[in-house]
Amino acid sequence: MAKEQDAIQRALEKLEKWAYVNLVRFNKAKCKALNMDQGNPWYQYRLGDEGIENSPTKEDLGIQVDEKLDMSQQCVLTALKINCILGCIKSSMGSRLRR
């Protein structure tokens, strides 16, 4: 497992060097590491001189992913959003008669 973690860390170092050369700045506070291997302790990755926070879940493009790739949390969040929208529609209607 250490080989994969070292390879990822080297890729992060290359990314940091590329960003420096191309004058690109990362918001490192928004960078998170999602560990997909439940049997091993989390590895502390670094981007430049700052550590990347480990997170049990990650949301990207509106999709929530956890280390098990389980979609149940995504379904719960989607249902909550839909119920909020339906509640707004229901409260904004003056009458719910079919006419």
Q: Is 70 helix (H, G, I), strand (E, B) or coil?
A: coil
Q: What is the mean pLDDT of the chain?
A: 79
Q: 29 with 46, same domain?
A: yes
Please give the residue range of the domain that contains residue 2: 1-55
Q: 3 with 49, same domain?
A: yes
Distance from C-alpha of 89 to C-alpha of 85, rounded to nearest angstrom: 6
Q: 47 with 61, same domain?
A: no
Place 96 in a pLDDT band, splitting at 50, 70 and 90: low
Specify the number of domains making up the chain: 2
pLDDT for the residue 95: 67
Q: 40 with 77, same domain?
A: no
pLDDT for the residue 45: 84
Q: Side-chain half-sphere of 90: how many Cα atoms within 13 Å?
A: 6
Q: Which residues touch 1 (CB under 8 Å, ≥6 apart)? A: 37, 40
Report field, pTM of the whole predicted structure over 0.85: no
Q: Which residue has the higher pLDDT, 20 or 42?
A: 20
pLDDT for the residue 25: 87
Q: 78 with 32, same domain?
A: no
Distance from C-alpha of 84 to C-alpha of 64, rounded to nearest angstrom: 19
Q: 61 with 50, same domain?
A: no
pLDDT digits (tens, 9 = 90+) for 27-60: 888 787 777 665 556 678 888 888 887 776 766 6
Q: 24 with 42, same domain?
A: yes
Residue carrying the six token digits 């439940």? 38
Place 98 in a pLDDT band, splitting at 50, 70 and 90: low
Q: 31 with 69, same domain?
A: no
Q: 74 with 96, same domain?
A: yes
Q: 50 with 3, same domain?
A: yes
